[in-house]
Chain A
Amino acid sequence: QSVLTQPPSASGTPGQRVTISCSGSSSNIGSNYVYWYQQVPGTAPKLLIFRNNLRPSGVPDRFSGSKSGTSASLAISGLRSEDEADYYCAAWDDSLSGLFGGGTKLTVL
């Protein structure tokens, strides 16, 4: 069981806005940045959001991140079929180890 807790699944219809949550503790999310990765099955993860709410070059502004206390969220607006993938949050822990969430499978209905 992952230290960072995500819902196992989420879904939405094209054009909708979907949010995925990530819950941690004071030693990880509470005191460090949160990162989000998108993974299409069979491929390597892709960095989607860094330092809580920043997007790497090339990531559409439909993707946004936020953090409050020991929780974080990824929002996807204007949902598209190509957004169907697995999404993982990640954070460093003060015990000097990296952490990933359990992942959320996003289905576009």
Chain B
Amino acid sequence: QVTLKESGPVLVKPTETLTLTCTVSGFSLSNARLGVSWIRQPPGKALEWLAHIFSNDEKFYSTSLKSRLTISKDTSKSQVVLTMTNMDPVDTATYFCARMVGRGQPDFDYWGQGTLVTVSS
């Protein structure tokens, strides 16, 4: 059974760095056909793709947020970590991690439940 679960702080202050962890089960992060993306959704707004990491550690980032994002993985722990620096209230959103099948296509077959992160002082 494939599952993904996001974890991290519920509340962060402006200018702080957000660190989120996606713990996966039912598949390996070393599987060459699979990768993990982070996607966010501000309350009442659309989905926004943030970053992706492939099994070979190749990484892709949102063009508009690239300077603030870092994605990494620990295959032995089955975890994918996203850090976002200089958080702002506009970054308040539900953050999802999702499994991508294949390369370079938004084919997300499994999603985590999402974690709501609020940015406020």
Contact = CB atoms under 8 A, between A and B. Distances in A.
Interface string A92-109: 100111111111000000
A22 interface: no
Given A35-B105, A47-B108, A90-B106, A101 B60 contact: no
A96 B107 contact: no
A56 B49 CA distance: 21
Interface string B99-112: 00000111111011
Nearest to B101: A50
Contacts of B113: 43-44
A99 B105 CA distance: 10
Interface residues of A, number: 27
Interface size class of B (residues with CB under 8 A): 20 to 34
Contact of A47 (B49, B109, B112): B109
Nearest to B96: A44
Contacts of B111: 44-46
A70 to B, nearest CB: 16
B63 A97 contact: yes
Contacts of A97: 49, 60-63
A2 interface: yes
Interface string A36-53: 010100011111001100
B106 A98 contact: yes
Contacts of B63: 95, 97
A83 to B, nearest CB: 19
A37 to B, nearest CB: 8
A76 interface: no
A95 B107 CA distance: 17
B79 interface: no
Given A44-B112, A44-B113, A45-B111, A100 B47 contact: yes
A98 B114 contact: no
Best-buried of B52, B62, B96, B105 by chain A (most CB within 10 Å): B105
7 contacts: A35-B108, A43-B113, A51-B107, A88-B46, A88-B47, A99-B49, A100-B47
